[in-house]
Each structure stands twice: as structure tokens, then as C-alpha cells.
Amino acid sequence: MTENDPHAHDSAAGRQNPGAQPGTEGQAAWSQPTAPGASPAPASGEQPTYGEQPTYGEQPTYGEQAQQQNPGYATANPWSAQGAQTGPMGYNNPYPPTGGTTQQQYAAPGTYSVPPAPAPKKSGPGKLLAAVAAIALVIGGVAGGTVGYLTGGSSGPSVNALDQPKPAQQTGNAPAGSIESVAQKLSPSVVELQVSGRTAAGEGSGFVLSTDGYILTNNHVVEVAANGGQIQAVFQDGRKAAASVVGRDPTTDIAVVKVNNVSGLTPVELGRSDDLRVGQPVVAIGSPFELSGTVTSGIVSSLHRPVQAGGDETDQTTVMDAIQTDAAINPGNSGGPLANMNGQVIGINSAIYSPNSGQGGQGGQAQGGNVGIGFAIPIDQARRTANDIIKTGHATQTFIGAKVADAPQGGAQLGDITPGSPAEKAGLKSGDIVTKIDDRTIDSADTLIAAVRTRAPDEKATFTLSGGRTVQVTLGGQPVPAN
């Protein structure tokens, strides 16, 4: 994949392309452990394995991805949390195609033998008699109590919960730092986006950036409306207003839309994502399955997950340096906020990993649901991209100017170096294997791309190469092509 060319990366995660040419990104497929066999006789039949990961329905295919095996690295192929049918590439597209199905197989549950019950210990006559006496006492006690109840009548007046008065209504504000307080603060700023184009329609989420109507969301939520489609924003109080695309960046799966003829909206408070900690609680708000204003909670499960989601039909891809969370995220949550317990937005819910649970739905395809693995775009990166879009109408992408592929021994191997690029100016050569950027370990091409894109143009980064040599690179910036 050409790291500095947003049209060159393939996001068809989880598929192997044995015919891939050098210079393309590799992606390890999700692996499924084999459950223990049944005892005493092993389970018969072939062990099911994952089939081809589902791909975008009517979404871009991003060209042929070069997959190179990296035994030490496996990257999640998430499904987008967009509100629609799940397409064939691990990405929930709100605009499903007609016809065709994507079948995904699962590893069969393991069968486990039931251990035999232990043999009873032998005991002497004294122990047996004591046991019989104890049983008799228990039975006698129960029988005596029963007779006493039947002959003694009711022990007192009956009490019925239906006759009790209602408790006092809740008063006062929600406790600070509670899920309730976060929901109260953020819900007025979260909108449902109903989107339609010439051939498809769907819905997702977004949140208000400004009082005059700028809304931040995912590119994959609104891309079908980018060329002549329609977007309608539905607010918490039921108001509806038409919106239009200001700009979008398929390479980061970020878009900004503007609601027309509105004022006095409630903007969110943006937090920061560079100091998040694994385990800290978070809250997600959005419109899963068109259920607007849905609030869920969980924790930050992991940080710096390089995952692929989003893109369009011009072979562009998103590799984001994602926040992983177990807060319930489902189709329709895409574009909604992920917030800390102060009610500050720290991420944009963008993707989920969710195996197909069966067949059905429009076009015979199944919708993915939450399994506790969701991904959000860090707000630091989203803030920078949104600011570019609002000020200039287009996004700026950070790049180094080199093709990148997975190195067989781990790391990211550089391919062709673009003349005059930041990589060439720093002295990087084709064949160099990057193993670290600053203090972050680089174990694959996707990790390198995610680490570069999460930084700002003109930022300096120290690249560590295999063998221990270090090179300082001043990262470049280039406009993302409009489409």
C-alpha cells in the first residue's frame, strides 16, 4: 500500500491474497482457537473455521489487498457500527446492495466430557444411623411446621405490595461522574442522521460541534449523500432539519455536515484522547438500529488498535489508531460520541467486530450486533481533521511517502520511496524495517500507518529500524483528494 496515497490501501480485512505484489499492506486474519475435544471419544467431523470475512455491501472494495502472513500479529477486521446491513468486508454499510449473501462460518463449540461422580465412601453402622437420624429430624421438623400452620390458622394480616404508596419522586441533579449525568449532558447534542442517495439509504449518528449547526460524524455514514443525496438531522427534541456535507475524509472515516437554518444548538465538550487509560469507564450515545438517544456504558478495553474501516469505491481505506471499548455499539451508533465520565467526547464510535449470527435481512445478509468489541476514532485526530474541513473544505493527511508492507519477522518494511518525500529527506531506504516510532512498537504495516496518521503534519518522530538504527522523520501533510 502506498502510505502517502489514500487511494492505494486495501481495507478488505481478514482476506488473504496470495498473489499480492510487494508494497502492499498485509492483514492477518482473525484466528479462532479450537475448543477441547470431547472425552472419551473425540468429536467427529471437520472443525469449522472462519470463512472469508464479510466485506462492505455496496461499499468500496479498495482494490486487491496484498496480505502477507505475520504469525505474531493479528488485526481485528471490524464491522462498522453503521445502521444498515453488513456487507462483505467487515463493515456495516447503511446502504446495502441487493442480491447476494455473505456466509461466515464459526468454529464449533468444543464438547467436554462430564467427569464421573466420585464413588461414595464406605462408612460404619454408627455413621449411617447418625445420618438417618439427621434426615428424620429434618423431615420431622418440616412436618411439624406444616401441621402447626394448618391447625393454627393465619399468623397475621396479609401484606400486599400493590397497596403500598409510591415512593417519593427522584429530585435533584444526577450525581457528578455518573452515567446518568453524562447522558443528561450529552444527549441534547447527539443527532440521528437519516441519509439517502440515488440507490441506497441508511442512518447513523453524529454530534453537534457548534451552535450554528456543524456536526461531526463518520464518512461512511454520509458518503452516499455526498453527490446529490439528502441528509436529515433529527434532534433529541424531535426537530428535523436538512443538512449538507461540508467535507469528508475517507482515509480517517471522518466527515463534517452542516445543518441549515438552525441556531442555538448545544455543542459537545471535546476532551482529549492522548491520556486515556485502559479500564477507565466510558459512555456511548447514538441511534443503534434506529433507536435514537440510546445510552450504553463500558470501559476502555485497549488503546492504539490499528483497525480498518470505512472508505469508498476509489480504493481508499481507513486505518485508524482506534480506542477499543466494550460499551455496546451496534449498527446506527456510527458517528456518535464516546465520552468520559465528565461528559467530554474522547472518541467517535466508528466500527465493531461482530461475527454474523445467521442469515436474514435485506438482500439475505445478516446484521452484525455487539459482542463487546467496538472501536472509536480518537478525538485528538478527529478534532484536527474536522478543523481542516471546516476551515478549508478538505482534510489534510499525514504521510511519510513510502510504500509499506508487513515484514516477515515483524515490523513494517518500506518499499518504494517517493522522491522528495519526508521518508527520503530523512534517509529512509527501500527495504528498511521499522520496528518502533518513538516509544510505540510497530509490528505490522497497519500499525505504522495508524501511528503516522494519528500525528500531525510537521511533527517530528523517531523511527527505530531493525538492527537498532534510529532516524528522525519530519512528517508531511497533503490534502486528501476530493471525491
Catalytic residue annotation: 220, 253, 334
281 vs 295: CA distance, rounded Å: 13
Single out the residue of 249, 241, 189 nearest to residue 221, CA to CA: 249
Nearest Cα neighbor of 303 from 285, 321, 318 is: 321
Q: Taking Cα atoms as reference points, which of 254, 404, 265 lies closest to residue 321?
A: 254
Closest-CA residue to 323 (of 401, 365, 378, 404): 378
Give every CB contact of residue 158 below 8 A, 6+ residues apart in sequence: none
Cell 464510535 belongs to 349
Name 387's Cβ contacts closer than 8 Å, sequence gap at least 6.
Answer: none
| Distance separating alpha carbons of residues 108 and 48, to the nearest angstrom | 6
